[in-house]
Amino acid sequence: MYLVLTALLALNVSTSVLDAFKIIDEGLEKTGVTMESKNKDIYTEFDQAYQLNQSKTAVWRDRALQVQERTQKLYDYIQDLKIRTLSQAERGKSEAIEGKTIDRDKIEATTDYDTPHNVMIGSDLNDKSEARKLKNEIAALREFMLTVVKEKELPDQLRNSISKSLDTEPPVLPKGKKKDPEHSTWEYHKFGHSPLMGFLAIMSSLQIDLRNAESEMINYLYAQISAGEVKFNELEAVVIPNSNYILKGNPYKASIFLAARDTTQAPDIYVVEGVSQPWIETTDPVTGQIKYDRKEGLNYTKLPVEKGTGKGLFERSGGSLGSRSWGGIIEIKGPGGEPIIRPFAADYTVAEGGVVVSPTKMNVFYLGVDNPVEISVSGVAGNKIRATASNGQLEQRGSSWIMRARREGNCMVTVSADLDGKWTTVGNKEFRVKKVPDPEAKVNNQKGGGIAKNILMAQSGVMAAMPPDFDFDLKFTVTEFTVMAVVQGFVQERRVRGNQFNQEVRTLINTLSKGSAVYFQDIKATGPDGTVRNLSTINFRLN
């Protein structure tokens, strides 16, 4: 009776452990789905950048697609091993296998300790063992990622992170512990006599490591698009006149340049007067990209370009009243040596009086903020000027104006002046109204990567900061976030209301060891306009 009771107790303990493995595997699967979704977003950004500038993006996009293909192939190989092992454990009649997925609740052979070992190692560990093949495939993927960029060395932090995610070294034994086949190799350490549920959790963990390495590699490759010879990824021809209305007898001047221009090389600027669209458009049948060129039969003038600024100066006399139209094309050499061409067009009016409406910070109005605007009419005092907006409220404050937009879209600003005792409309200008961009979630002023455990523990919480190129002083407040980490094989999550680390979060972080991953996700922040923004996940690895 004593022996029977002992066996029953052992069976109960075993069952509870196997249930724990099931919970771990379910948590790992959810994490994998989240990471796969975020990786897909990066590949979408690669495609969008490729449409904007193929020659600049192609090499980095192609390498990212190679990373995607090889990672997915190895991911599928691991999934096939999971299904194959489960099928053999249940004698080929497993109801838990649904295509390429596994329903853990339907697994019956949960206590099978032999099949994982037989499938992965066999009677003796050798080069034909699936465990050895898997190890070699992981090592090959690691080597590929570390050498895919041939132009320069990868950052040490990235190299170390990928090496840890795709580590195939045998475990380090405690001092004084004797080596044996169960611990001396990576293969035995992972797959030597593990129960079926434990085996599935181990394989899911390896798949998570693949996704993590893939994520870090493609994020680095995407960052290289803007690190090339030309320091911009979208071109737009810009015409900035000193005024759209000028007094009779005064000259009209306008600067033509490329926004986000490369000042190390001067563009070629060709202009034509009296033509509203002095260029032709053609569509590449292969890529679908629109290309621009000069029209035949038009007499173009090449403008002089100021050295070091890329600005060309267009100047004409305002000797007679009336409207004038002009435009042309601007060319600059691209990263691969091919010309990048963009068209531009503008018009101006020579009149007795003039009006200037221009934002003092941006070329757009933003929702939820005070947009400073300069409004003036030549020869008219400021107290004799009125301005209205079709999409918002304009308020005069001293010599300046403040614009408060109502909704996204366009906004027409109309200016009237008291001319000889009569209020007369003297001009209008159309602007774009845009939503304030999302802030960036940061901890320790970092958006992810490696971080020392003591540094992370010293932080007060998750902060939201506006992008560095956004000129307005706005403050977003993080209202909630979730901290997720794997502790001793269990997925742990801590939900926080507000932006501060509570004691539960600090306790979770304190339990993690070097090399552990910590995810700050489901981050929400509220802006001054009351809108709630969903911010990007912060991925840390403790170092």
Cα–Cα nearest to 162, from 220, 228, 80, 226: 220
CA 228, chain centre distance (Å)? 18
CA angle, 397 as apex, 392 and 400 as ends, to 5°?
85
- Model confidence at 248, pLDDT cuts 50, 70, 90, reads very low
**What local confidence, expressed as pLDDT, does residue 188 receive?**
87
Q: Mind listing the pLDDT tens digit for each residue in 121-142?
A: 888 889 999 989 999 999 999 9
Judged against a pLDDT cut of 50, whether residue 8 lies above it is answered with no
**What local confidence, expressed as pLDDT, does residue 243 receive?**
53
CA 518, chain centre distance (Å)? 19
Query: Given this chain, do its domains 232-350 and 353-435 carry the same CATH topology?
Result: yes
Domain spanning 353-435, CATH class: mainly beta
Judged against a pLDDT cut of 60, whether residue 390 lies above it is answered with yes
Q: What are the extents of the domains in the chain? A: 2-227, 232-350, 353-435, 440-542
- Model confidence at 7, pLDDT cuts 50, 70, 90, reads very low
Alpha-carbon distance of 66 to 63, in angstroms, equals 5
Please give the average per-residue pLDDT across 280-285, as a whole number. Answer: 82
Q: Return the higher-pLDDT residue of 15 and 293.
A: 293
**What local confidence, expressed as pLDDT, does residue 351 receive?**
54
Give the count of alpha carbons within 13 A of 440, CB side only.
13
Positive or negative, the CA dihedral 57, 58, 62, 65 is: positive
Q: Mind listing the pLDDT tens digit for each residue in 500-517?
A: 999 999 999 999 999 999
Number of neighbours of residue 74 by Cβ within 10 angstroms: 20
Judged against a pLDDT cut of 50, whether residue 283 lies above it is answered with yes
- Model confidence at 179, pLDDT cuts 50, 70, 90, reads low
Instruction: Choose from 21-25, 244-248, 320-324, 362-366 the range with maximum mean pLDDT.
Output: 362-366
Q: State pTM to two decimals.
A: 0.44
- Percent of the chain topping pLDDT 70: 82
Q: Mind listing the pLDDT tens digit for each residue in 197-225?
A: 888 889 899 999 999 999 999 999 998 88
**What local confidence, expressed as pLDDT, does residue 108 receive?**
82
- Model confidence at 233, pLDDT cuts 50, 70, 90, reads very low
Alpha-carbon distance of 219 to 462, in angstroms, equals 22
- Model confidence at 1, pLDDT cuts 50, 70, 90, reads very low
Judged against a pLDDT cut of 60, whether residue 385 lies above it is answered with yes
Alpha-carbon distance of 41 to 540, in angstroms, equals 19
Alpha-carbon distance of 404 to 372, in angstroms, equals 9
Q: Which fold has domain 232-350?
A: Immunoglobulin-like (2.60.40)
- Model confidence at 322, pLDDT cuts 50, 70, 90, reads low
- Model confidence at 9, pLDDT cuts 50, 70, 90, reads very low
DSSP state of 438: P
CA 195, chain centre distance (Å)? 40
Cα–Cα nearest to 203, from 331, 74, 303, 35: 74
Alpha-carbon distance of 268 to 28, in angstroms, equals 56
Q: Mind listing the pLDDT tens digit for each residue in 100-127?
A: 888 877 888 877 888 988 888 888 889 9
Cα–Cα nearest to 465, from 499, 493, 496, 497: 499
Q: Mind listing the pLDDT tens digit for each residue in 27-41?
A: 787 888 888 889 999
Alpha-carbon distance of 236 to 261, in angstroms, equals 9
In degrees and rounded to multiples of 5, residue 317 shows phi and psi of: -75, 140
